[in-house]
Amino acid sequence: QFDEVPGRYKVRSLALAESGRHQIRLAEHEMPGLMALRAEFGASKPLAGARIAGSLHMTVQTAVLIETLVALGAQVRWASCNIFSTQDEAAAAVAVGPDGTPDDPRGVPVFAWKGETLEEYWDCTEQILVWPSESGDDGAERRGPNMILDDGGDATMLVHLGLQYERAGVVPPNTLPGEPDHTHEMNVVRDVLRRALEADPLRWTEIAVSIKGVTEETTTGVHRLYHLAEAGELLFPAINVNDSVTKSKFDNKYGIRHSLPDGINRATDILIGGKVAFVAGYGDVGKGAAEAFRGQGARVIVSEIDPICALQAAMDGFQVARIEDVLDEADFFITTTGNKDVILAEHIVAMKDKAVVGNIGHFDNEIDMAGLAKVPGVVKTEIKPQVHEWTLPAGKSVIVLSEGRLLNLGNATGHPSFVMSNSFSNQTIAQIELFLDAAKPEGERQYERQVYRLPKVLDEKVARTHLDALGVRLTELSKEQAEYIGVPVEGPYKPEHYRY
Ligand code: NAI
């Protein structure tokens, strides 16, 4: 069922590597930001000595990120941050490496496949935190990663919980502040922590001490980091990659605009035009989702809790309503809030026959799947992997995508390369920032155990590297114009508080 060398890789099949390699080659062409970073830093190798534990959807685009980090000198171990999001051919190609063959894999240790169980998921996450011992130039034992690259915060959470567990000698509390209450999943995490500690009593202390920083990809993971920092519990500096403008205002919006309909089409092939689509949340992801539905000719209804976003949605021409008022009206229900309990079982039972229900926010608690499973007499039928029909007692049914997990990665292949090049350029720059800062003498370091954003000048740099590919000709400021509006000719062009 797997191709596996314990501690080295575990993927669905190395035979998929050739297909993965072709897809990576084409993706590189669409990822000018990452390729520019390879050209800029490939010789100086600023990440030499970095041991990066990566927990981020193991897609073709992520493969280009991984190989960029390696080109910049890093050693890397990788797992996916979602049980359904791996593209098996990308995982195989990364494990084999650009110069290896399936018989002689020479790539990056990767532990990821599409359709993991929760137990397998957390085992894979632990695998990226366990580095084989080796003696470095300084003769020191190396046992853990020294950097984390996270999406959603699961790898960071495992280190924090592991340390709590090791120090207090008890299984950590059910949830972190602000955490979704995933009782079953937390039990799985506890088992991983317990087993890891039995195998190696000081594991979590050593890992926590060796980590110099984390760079976090998404809104939900960033929320977790701010909670930890506010509680004074964050163990290492963090860079919030999500809130680089060239991440959240591009990936979250334009990426979703592409990958949401992609997921719905691959899963259901139901015509969107003329139908009614309900989108919960009108943040960056919700804006992309609503625009995608409108682009396909759907009538879109948005829900919001924030009056500013609700007003924006109304001004953009969308009806703004509460879910309970449109249950018998909408054909598609999509959650984009990063919040929990947005679609409840009682909502689902009142929906139209064959309504499509899906989530594109980070965690699966936006839709009450546990509550749906408990509806008396409900029957779940697998139409195909990640597409289930739930037949309700009244005889009608709804179609639930990816079991309530993010459907653009579960039912399709996530965002396209060009937009991910923006996000991952920020990730790469953030890794360099934190890694090089930690190498400075203690008094000279810029980053403490807090959450930071990249400076605007780097944000603008990321955008700049993507202009040529789109044939954009930027207007240049004259010195007089620059003085008149009070910005440097070379940027940054906007104050920190500017919202784009
Ligand atoms: P955001 O904070 O910009 O937007 C979320 C919006 O939901 C906010 O405007 C908020 O007011 C609203 N909201 C909160 N609770 C609500 C409720 N009960 N009903 C209606 N609206 C509610 O966050 P962003 O960046 O849009 O991200 C949303 C989620 O999507 C996060 O979990 C994020 O991690 C995830 N994400 C997923 C991606 C994917 O590829 N699937 C890509 C990027 C982000």
Q: What is the DSSP string of 325-346?
A: GSTTT-SEEEE-SS-SSSB-HH
What distance in Å separates the CA atoms of residue 174 and residue 153, rounded to the nearest whole number?
16
Vertex 58 angle, CA 53 and 2, to 5°: 95
Distance 471 CA to ligand 1 centre (A): 32
**Considering only CA atoms, which residue is closest to atom 41 of ligand 1?**
360
Beta bridge partners of 382: 388
Show the tokens assigned to 348. 């689902």
How does the average pLDDT of the chain come out, rounded? 94
Does residue 337 line the site of ligand 1, with CB under 6 A?
A: yes
pLDDT in tens, 94-153: 999 999 999 999 999 999 999 999 999 999 999 999 888 765 555 555 578 999 999 999
Distance 182 CA to ligand 1 centre (A): 19
Question: Is pLDDT of 406 > 70?
Answer: yes
| Per-residue pLDDT at 180 | 52
What distance in Å separates the CA atoms of residue 390 and residue 367, rounded to the nearest whole number?
14
Whether the upstream peptide bond of residue 492 has omega within 30° of 0, thus cis, is yes
**Residue 64 identity (one-letter amino acid):** V
Burial of 499 (0-12, 13-18, 19+ CB in 10 A): exposed
Does residue 51 line the site of ligand 1, with CB under 6 A?
A: no
**Residue 3 identity (one-letter amino acid):** D
| Per-residue pLDDT at 132 | 80
pLDDT in tens, 292-333: 999 999 999 999 999 999 999 999 999 999 999 999 999 999
Residue in the block written with tokens 């009244």: 394
Q: Which of 57-66, 138-147, 154-163 has the lowest mean pLDDT?
A: 138-147
Q: What are the structural domains of the chain?
A: 3-248+414-456 (3.40.50.1480), 254-410 (3.40.50.720)
Give the residue-averaged pLDDT of 233-253: 97
Return the percentage of the chain with pLDDT > 90, whole number.
Answer: 87
Burial of 329 (0-12, 13-18, 19+ CB in 10 A): middle
What distance in Å separates the CA atoms of residue 21 and residue 67, rounded to the nearest whole number?
12
| Longest Cα–Cα distance in the chain | 73
Ligand 1 nearest atom to the CA of residue 366, by list position: 18
Annotated binding site for substrate: 59, 151, 217, 247, 251
Does residue 219 line the site of ligand 1, with CB under 6 A?
A: yes
3-state DSSP assignment of residue 387: strand
Show the tokens assigned to 489. 């000719």
pLDDT in tens, 161-214: 899 888 887 766 655 544 555 677 888 888 888 888 888 877 888 899 999 999
Output b/e per residue, 395-406; b: 16+ Cβ within 10 A. eebbbbbbbbbb
| Per-residue pLDDT at 178 | 46
**Considering only CA atoms, which residue is closest to atom 33 of ligand 1?**
219
Give the residue-averaged pLDDT of 375-392: 98
Name the helix (H) or strand (E) containing 208: helix 203-210
Distance 100 CA to ligand 1 centre (A): 40
What distance in Å separates the CA atoms of residue 451 and residue 241, rounded to the nearest whole number?
10
Name the helix (H) or strand (E) containing 188: helix 183-199
pLDDT in tens, 11-57: 999 999 999 999 999 999 999 999 999 999 999 999 999 999 999 99
Does residue 335 line the site of ligand 1, with CB under 6 A?
A: no
| Per-residue pLDDT at 148 | 98
| Per-residue pLDDT at 177 | 45
The pTM of the full predicted model, rounded to 2 decimals, is: 0.96
